[in-house]
Amino acid sequence: MTTGLRSRRPGVTLLEILITLSVCSMLVALLMPAVQRVRGAADRLACQSKLRQLGIAVHHYESNTGKLPPAFRHRGLGTPDPNLQWPLLIAPYLELDANARMTAEDFRQFPDPIYPIPHRGLSIPLKPFSCPSDPRTAVAWEYTFAYTLARPQPTVVTVQIALNSYLGNGGALTKKRDGVIVADGSMSLVHVSDGTSNTLLFGERPPPANLSFGWLYVGWGARASGNGELSSVIGVLDPNPFTGGAPPTCGPGPFPYRQPDLNAVPDCTMFQYWSLHPGGANFALADGSVRFLRYSADAILPALATRAGGEAVELPD
């Protein structure tokens, strides 16, 4: 008589399970910083690629029109699209012809892009102007404010707005109009006597947390002189233009190129170039090249911002 023997698998104890889970947790904790670094590097490269596209589009715009795109065109100058900012002006050179046509149609029907009926383009994010490190720029946001251009009196309006990751170079001081992207500008690359490889064209600046600036289509500040418009251009030595209003506690300025404190109150990040990449920000130069400038470049940024200042400047490696 033969007796069959049943084999028994060795069991796994609770202690062994806990040890395995602990080892897995440690491996994940060790790998996460590396994954975040790889993702951050990919975002930075994607931002550089988009800035390169913008630089090429500006060169095509300048070749066809004989001048660089303005930051925006003021009202009262008989322009067909008052307050429209440079992103939509170069849209046809970014394969965004349909958006440009829609913009022209809306301005013909409603000269005011915000009131009484907001333009369709006000709420449409455009990929070339969205840095992947800032997911806010990929969607539209609701914004409510008192619109002082409304008639017969200031009116509270709520609009959906698309955002822009990049600002034009208004110069050392936008009030002096010594940059390359200025309000109602009419200069060309010929006027960049400092050299196109030594002059900024665009730079990164995420919109502030309150979304009052950094609008893609038009900026409500465009009704002013252009100094401190802050949705389309910036000057690296600009003072705080809000001397009598918010945010007064940001100080008079100018605001250095540095990593801002994102937890600070009030939020003063709208006054300077910066990025969500560690250590610095991406910039497009007027020759179409793109550089990542570390915050240590603060001292040379004013020289890079002027188009004809005559400064001797060497870009850091």
Q: Which domain holds residue 51?
A: 42-305
- pLDDT value at 141 more than 50: yes
pLDDT of 120? 97
Q: Does some domain include residue 218?
A: yes
Residue 77 binned pLDDT confidence (cut-offs 50, 70, 90): low
Structural element, H or E, at residue 146:
strand 141-147
Q: Does some domain include residue 18?
A: no
Number of structural domains the chain divides into: 1
pLDDT of 68? 97
pLDDT of 246? 56
Question: Rounded mean pLDDT of 103-131?
Answer: 95
Interior/surface letters 129-165, b for 16+ CB within 10 angstroms, e for the rest: bbbbbbebbeebbebeeebeeeeeeeeebebebbbbb
Q: Does some domain include residue 311?
A: no
- pLDDT value at 300 more than 90: yes
Residue 178 binned pLDDT confidence (cut-offs 50, 70, 90): very high
Q: Give the range among 8-12, 164-168, 265-269 with minimum mean pLDDT.
A: 8-12
Query: pLDDT exceeding 90 applies to what percent of the chain?
Result: 61
Q: Does some domain include residue 54?
A: yes
Q: Does some domain include residue 228?
A: yes
- pLDDT value at 228 more than 50: no
Q: How many CB atoms lie within 10 A of CB 86?
A: 25
- pLDDT value at 224 more than 50: no
Structural element, H or E, at residue 305:
helix 301-305
